Structure 1
């Protein structure tokens, strides 16, 4: 994956002004946006997905321009074909697991095509949630809800997968298990990943390039292996 981000966004509120200045470029298939809460990581992820329009700058993915404010170009989320998993999963409580997974493939009016229905079924099989197809999200565990959210994000065969603090709601033993499952699925599907986290364990596991954030700015970018070595020295 080749992703280039160079954006600026200003937020003004009664209690705080916040300025995001994020700039990095990488060719790695695994990119981790790492830093403390409130440092601008999620805003960057939302800008890549098309859920936030920068005040200035540009974003490109594999040579395709997603946003360029100088050219007044900013593709809507649906046209970017990027999977996004929110920190709280954002599942629809009134829909079943099958309906949640199928949501992005379902026409505004009408039913899923046979091909789309088969893809939903195979994706649920891949994530081990086929037995939950007719259950609503409130009746399943946190780990299962995460699998549903991942299946929904990947069923449309996106060009990249964006994850916002994907393991923060899981207990520690479950985090490690889901990390392994997710890595295996991403490798099998050959899907590039951009992940937001403040957990060094995510950096250590997923590797790739690590973009470090603080106070709305990108401090630097380095390979995960170099960051792991520096963490060991500090410890």
Structure 2
């Protein structure tokens, strides 16, 4: 019964020619594999890969917001807005859908209300202006007549009739002498107005005023026109030995 289950083990001997052929085939395969691995190492510059430095991502600087400056409306524009707002609104007429125009019809410039505001806060009355532009009345402000004060030296240069006082007899008897200072106004015609004694002996004041009143001056010119001036006039009274 064990006849069919017996296994006959037999070692087949390999011939030397087959053995050398296997060794040669393995050696050739190793040589080809070594050549494939050695070729890239002979010329590394032709290798496809490269090493690059890592890139640094720098954030962009954030710009500071620009502060907005409040704009103040000028008083002129405020006055213009207030005057326009104060005007009554006019109803617009309803135009016909279809209308015919004659060949000789010409457009006519219509007048519209016009108002202006001022910077001094004084409201102006509204007027009417045309499409060409509003008419503005310009008035030249004349300078107010203001008296100018001049020195006594300048007044002496304008003197035409010299001042010759008459010595009072009572002052001669009393041996009174001195200087009388008078404030006066030279008018536009060169006469003396509004005299006032500032200082001096009482006995000599009347004679000094009479002498100054009789004097005449050349009118003082300001911008080509005569004007009143204020000055001081000194009258000397001296007694001889």
Q: TM-score, normalised by structure 2?
A: 0.15
Larger RCO: 1 or 2 (CA < 8 Å, sep 6+):
1
Tell me which protein shows more strand as a share of its residues.
1
Bigger Rg, which one: 2
